[in-house]
Structures are given as C-alpha cells and as structure tokens.
Amino acid sequence: MEGEAAILPPSGRKDSGSGETLTTLNGSQRVSFRGSDIHKKEYSNSNHANGALISDSSDRSSATSLPSLHVQLMRTHKKRDPFQYYEILQMLGDGSMGSVCKVKKRKSALGGSARKSFVRKQRRSIMKKILPCLSFCLPGGASEGTKRGALVAAEDYDDAPLHTLDANSETSNTTVSSGDRSKNQHSSIVSYRGDFRVVYALKSIILDQVTNDTFVKELRNEIDILRTLDHPNICKAIETYEFKNQVYLVLELCSGGDLYGRDPYDEVQARHIVHSILDACTFLHRKNITHRDLKYENIMFASPTSPNVKIIDFGLSKKYSQNEILSQTVGTVYTMAPEVIKGKYGELCDVWSIGVIAFMLLSSSVPYFGKSRLDVVKRIMDGRVSFKSRRWKDVSRQAKDFVTSLLVNDANHRPSCSDALIHEWFKGRKVSRANPNFSPSQVVSSAVMDRVQATIQTFAGYTKLKKLALYVIAHKSSADEIGFLQQLFRNRFDVEKDGVISLDEFKEALSVYSYTNDELEAMFHAIDIDGGDSLAYSEFLAATIEAHGSIEEGRIAEAFDRLDDDDTGYITVSNLTDFLGKEAPKEFINEIIEEADVSKDHRIDYDEFLGLWDGSFDKVLAECLKDVREKRVVRCSTFFQALEEGEDGAFLEEEDSVDIDGGNKGDSLESAPPGAGKFFFEQEKEKSMRGIWI
C-alpha cells in the first residue's frame, strides 16, 4: 500500500486485476491510482453503465447521461396525508388560501417501514444483552414474564435512542448486514444520535378556497421549476403531496429570516448578499428561467447564524425560450423593472430588481417610493436614483457605481447577471467590521482541504448504490450539515459562477495536488453521477459531505426510503428504474443491485443498505488522506483568494446624487422629502414581519 492512493470499494475487496479499484457510477471502468500511473480495466459489456468506456484519452462523447436524475430527487405523493409524516412545530405564515409552517419528520415515519423494523430489531438485540443483568439487580432475579415484557416494550418504544449503536459501543462492532460484511465494523462516520430531527418548511394551498386559478398555477409552476434547480443559493424542494384537495410543497427550511430581519447591513455584508443573488440568477438565466419577483421578502438566510442567503418563492418565475419577449406584468412594485410595467421584457428585469435590493442593503431605504402604487410607478419610470441620505456618505464609489449600472431604465444598456459579477465592486473582499461572524471569509486550512480531497478520492471508489445514496443525502441536508462546503463550491471550484463545475475548473481547484491529468479526469468522471460532463452542486456535496466527519443514520434511512418509493422495505430493480429514469440501461441497474446484494435475493434491504457504511471506509479514508497529504504541492490556506487585496481604508468621496439617464448631477426628485425612502422601506419591512406569505 505504500505510495498508493487506496481507492477501494466499501467492502475493501480488491478487483481481480492488480492494484486497488475505482468503480464509477457513470463510466464503465476501474482505475487504480499508483503513483502517477493509471491502470484501466474495461468491463466485458461495452454498453454497461452510463455509456461508452472511458478511453485513455477520456473520450466520453458517446456516453449516455441520466438527465432526469436530479428531477427525480423530488418525490411526488398522491393521496397521502403529509401530516402522517410531518408534525407542525411552528406556524410561519398564514393566509386565507394556505399557510407556511415549520415541520419536522415524525420518528415513526423516518426512513419508512424498513427502518422501523430495523430499529425494533436493534432495540430487541440490545435488551437481550441487558436482561441478564436483571437477575442481579432485582430481588429473586427477573421472571420470564418480566423479560418478555421488557422485550415488547423495547420493540414498541419508538422514541428510544439508538446512540447505543454508535461506533464505540460493543453492539456496533458487528455490522447489521449479513454475509461477508458481518465481519466488519460500522464506519465511525455514522452517528446514531437519539435526538436527530429532520426539519423542513411546509407550504400549502387549499384548493377549495382558491377562487382564482392563478394561485394554483403559481404553486404548480413553482414545483415544476424547483425540480430542475440545483444551486447553493436557491431553496431546495424536497417533495410534494396532494391530499383532499390541497397541494403541499415540502421545502428546505431557511430559518434565518428574510433580509428585513438583519437590517441594517454594512457594505461588506451587502456585497456578499448581492454577489450570492447574482450567482443564483446567473444560474437561472443560463437555464432560461427568470424569477420576476426578487425582493427582500424572497431572500432568506439559511440559518440564524449563517451569512448565506437563498432565493425562495418561484411562483411567478417563468421558463422562457430563446429571445422570447415576456408581457405579463407580475412582481412587487418596489422592485419592478420599468420594462415589466410597460409589458415588454426579458430576463434582465431580474438585474433591475437586484439593483434595487443592493440600494436597500447599502442604505436601509428604497430608491423609488411614494404614497401609492401609482406614485412608485411614476418614480420608477422617471428613472433617477439619489444618494443623498447620510448612510451613503460611508459607502464606496464602487458600490454606488454598481447600483447605478444596474438601475438603468433601458434594458439594452443594463448588464447581464454574469457581467455584473465582474464589476470592480467585487474585486476585493474584507471582513465585516460590524459583525465579523457574518463575513463569508472562512479560512480553510490545508488540513481541512486535504480531508475534503481525500473524501472526494474515496467517493470515487464507492459502489454505484452508495453514490446514489449520498446524492440523496446531499440533496436533503440542511445548511448546518453542509457547512463550509457551500462556500467551497462557490469560491474554489465554481469559478465561472455558472452553478456547475467543469472539468477545467475541477483541475484548477485541485492544482495544489500533484495528480496527473489522467488521474484528475478519471476522478472527475467517477463523481459525475448523472453523466452530464459537469458536476452539479448536489453531486459536489455527495462527494464531499463525509468530510464533515459525521452522517446521521436518520439521513441514511431517508435516502433508503427515497429509493424504496413503494415502501416495500426493499430497493428493487423497479425502484431504481423509476428513480434513474428510462435512460438507464437494465444491465446498469442490475449491477447496482448486485454490488450491494449480500443475501443474493436481487433486492436490497435496509440492513444491506446500511452495510454500505461498514468499517472498511475508515481504513480507506485514512489511506487516501495519507496519499493526499503526500500529493499536496502548494499550501492553500483560504478559498477566498480575493481577500489579499481588500479595500481596507478610505474610499474616494462621491457626489451626493446620480442621474441614471444623464441629467445634471445634484438633481433630485422635487417631491422627495428627506427620509422618504427610509419611510417606505419601513412600511415594506412591517408588511414582511406580518408573516402573510400567501
């Protein structure tokens, strides 16, 4: 093993060929990293897996992709009551036609019927080990009736913790799987906390109370669009329910509140938020989707302590064709672009809205205000913005120039989101003086980056089923479970800010390690789960999430339940066909089953599924970590490379006001009294705090 990167299947078994193996999900090859050499072994079936074999030149032009894989992550339930699976914790917003509430997954529903049987079996096993002690603790010993009663209680006690099964306990020294895996320990990365809670947001519309079909169309439109989106700054949709004339959408919970909740912001905070929104909208526009209702209320913080924001509420979003002209006047008036009011616009209406948001973040006031909707519209069409308030005196010239560049009435002269991202305002980043904990400038040490890379390298050697499982786990994980990986994706890997990692970006991000070009390409294709020739956000998380050091057994159970969509307690060929889509060859699906089917009954039960996280993982990860450390040739202590040229210190003085349409400097709206923008801002903030979402 000396000098090798031990890329092994989870069982720790070696291929019949020389060296250790790397089994891809979407490429029919096995690769052994041995120094700088790559040994490739083709399977006998040239159409195996996701397409053609990866040749020495890494030619994947004939590879078959799985385009519907990400869409399938979001599960649709018909005629199922969501409240059998979720318990309401808090009402977040309520209206006449529906509500939004914070919910948690019921323990009895966590992981489906298969996990419930597993939990009872494990508790019964634990009680059998404990019962002999009763003969010493109870007078006269324990009767058979007492023992039987204790066993029954252990089976029926759903809230009993499973932490006794953690990696340090005697019980965990034998994995639950049978066959060869019975000799291996559970991986120490799997946590069996008894207090694990899966919390989401549940959005509903009561169809009986909807007199306007528009609201129903908006929710269904939101569902259809969210299925296709995978970006760190866009709220994830988990599943939907349709029950008794109601439509329910289960969403990632953004528990940090909207942008009003943390106002005021300093310039560093404002810049980070605007940059994140531009990132997300660049991704949307490249998928020909425009949001059309970007505003303070629809930008949420991921958690109470997180600086990361996510865009929500895609009910008014629109999927458009190339060069399509949109005409529907939708949105919220204070962020509405002039061309939307005119009824002839495209995706650049989002850029205007981002300009309004940037203005508000920097000044705690709105650029266009009035006593009525008509007054606001007149000011928007007039097209001038003023920087007269005291807050603007401490704002940099670059920030003001950025705002004016976006708030241009003529959309033909307005930059795209991708162009706005290269504005000089974003060229340097510094720590927020007002709130250092807010700043996105997270330092990642070489040791942490080494572990991330070792996890990627280890993931490349997993069985196909384990890769799919981690893909589902990544999709459902919360902001706290993902942690710094979101920033790592955005600021070290996705340098083009298009929401995906290309092969060139992957190579550049790992240039601090002495991998050969062939090694990097093989690793990239091995973690490209859907075969799309780029790494989406969830694929990146799937390959790196174990770097955090702990995965809850509840998350593994939820992944099993997603794949076992008919709740039979087994993952079958039919289940995988539904999940992977019709594009997946039958031979590929059969091999997924065979890799994990210890009992040889051509289906995977929960014991076998959990057995994918056996003790061999720890050894393989340790070997990979050793290899990665040896390969590191450049120490990279941070993934925010723009930090070294921060704009600490004074900024140039700016004029009091700017006329976007080229008027004289110093001009202002005659009817705009001092503080009027702040007053309108406070009005909108009060509306947001009422919690009326629908």
> 86 or 130: whose pLDDT is higher?
86
453 and 342 part of one domain: no
429 and 457 part of one domain: no
Q: Would you call the peptide bond into 264 cis, given omega within 30 degrees of 0 as the criterion?
A: yes
- With 0.85 as the threshold, say if the pTM is over it: no
State yes or no: pLDDT of 657 exceeds 70: no
Cα dist. 219→166, 249, 251 in Å? 42, 8, 12
Cα atoms found within 13 Å of the Cα of residue 499, Cβ hemisphere only:
22
Q: How far apart are CA 275 and CA 267, in angstroms?
A: 12
Count other C-beta atoms under 10 Å from residue 667's C-beta: 12
C-alpha dihedral sign at 158, 255, 351, 689: positive
The three-point CA angle 97-99-101 to 5° equals 175
Domain boundary among 207, 232, 252: 252
298 and 377 part of one domain: yes
Q: How far apart are CA 609 and CA 98, in angstroms?
A: 38
Q: Is residue 39 a contact partner of residue 15, using CB atoms and an 8 Å limit?
A: no
406 and 472 part of one domain: no
Of residues 258, 293, 530, 561, which has the active-site annotation? 293
The candidate with the shortest Cα–Cα distance to 693, out of 328, 298, 402, is 298
Domain boundary among 236, 252, 268: 252
Domain boundary among 189, 217, 252: 252
* Least confident window among 344-353, 421-430, 490-499, 526-535: 421-430
- The answer to whether position 637 is within a domain reads no
State yes or no: pLDDT of 407 exceeds 70: yes
- The answer to whether position 465 is within a domain reads yes
- The answer to whether position 689 is within a domain reads no
Rounded percentage of the chain residues whose pLDDT exceeds 90: 45
> 16 or 364: whose pLDDT is higher?
364
What local confidence, expressed as pLDDT, does residue 301 receive?
94
208 and 272 part of one domain: no
* Least confident window among 194-203, 232-241, 358-367, 441-450: 441-450
Residue 66: pLDDT band (50, 70, 90) is confident
307 and 410 part of one domain: yes
208 and 278 part of one domain: no
Q: How far apart are CA 310 and CA 537, in angstroms?
A: 14
**CATH number of the domain to which 284 belongs:** 1.10.510.10
What local confidence, expressed as pLDDT, does residue 149 receive?
56
What local confidence, expressed as pLDDT, does residue 649 receive?
32
State yes or no: pLDDT of 263 exceeds 70: yes
**CATH number of the domain to which 36 belongs:** 1.10.238.10
State yes or no: pLDDT of 642 exceeds 60: no
**CATH number of the domain to which 88 belongs:** 3.30.200.20
Region 593-603: mean pLDDT is: 93
Residue 57: pLDDT band (50, 70, 90) is very low
Residue 134: pLDDT band (50, 70, 90) is low
Does residue 75 come out as left (phi exceeding 0), alpha (psi in the -120 to 50 range) or beta? beta
380 and 348 part of one domain: yes
Q: In this structure, what token pair is assigned to residue 145?
A: 């009736």
> 162 or 345: whose pLDDT is higher?
345
Given the DSSP bridges, would you call strands 289-290 and 246-252 parallel, antiparallel or unpaired?
A: unpaired
- The answer to whether position 575 is within a domain reads yes
The candidate with the shortest Cα–Cα distance to 642, out of 481, 320, 427, is 427
Q: How far apart are CA 203 and CA 100, in angstroms?
A: 4
What local confidence, expressed as pLDDT, does residue 34 receive?
32
What local confidence, expressed as pLDDT, does residue 618 receive?
86
Average pLDDT over all residues of the chain: 77
State the SS3 of 368-397: CCCCCHHHHHHHHHHCCEECCCHHHHHCCH
397 and 453 part of one domain: no
State yes or no: pLDDT of 266 exceeds 50: yes
**What are 161-215's pLDDT values in tens digits?**
444 444 444 433 333 333 444 345 678 888 887 677 889 999 988 776 666 677 7
Cα dist. 244→170, 208, 222, 251 in Å? 48, 10, 20, 20
What local confidence, expressed as pLDDT, does residue 643 receive?
39
What local confidence, expressed as pLDDT, does residue 63 receive?
47
Residue 139: pLDDT band (50, 70, 90) is low
Residue 641: pLDDT band (50, 70, 90) is very low
Residue 54: pLDDT band (50, 70, 90) is very low
Q: In this structure, what token pair is assigned to residue 12?
A: 């720790």
- The answer to whether position 602 is within a domain reads yes
Residue whose structure tokens are 């999900």: 25
Q: How far apart are CA 623 and CA 625, in angstroms?
A: 5
Region 367-393: mean pLDDT is: 88
- The answer to whether position 656 is within a domain reads no
**What are 443-495's pLDDT values in tens digits?**
567 888 899 999 999 999 999 999 999 999 999 998 888 888 988 998 889 98
- The answer to whether position 137 is within a domain reads no
Number of compact structural domains in the chain: 3
219 and 305 part of one domain: no
399 and 493 part of one domain: no
What local confidence, expressed as pLDDT, does residue 181 receive?
44
232 and 339 part of one domain: no
Residue 648 annotated as catalytic: no
Q: Which residue range(s) make up the domain with 221?
A: 73-108+198-252
> 390 or 299: whose pLDDT is higher?
299
- The answer to whether position 670 is within a domain reads no
* Least confident window among 131-140, 461-470, 653-662: 653-662
> 147 or 261: whose pLDDT is higher?
261
Give the range with max mean pLDDT: 474-483, 501-510, 661-670.
501-510
Rounded percentage of the chain residues whose pLDDT exceeds 70: 69
Residue 125: pLDDT band (50, 70, 90) is low
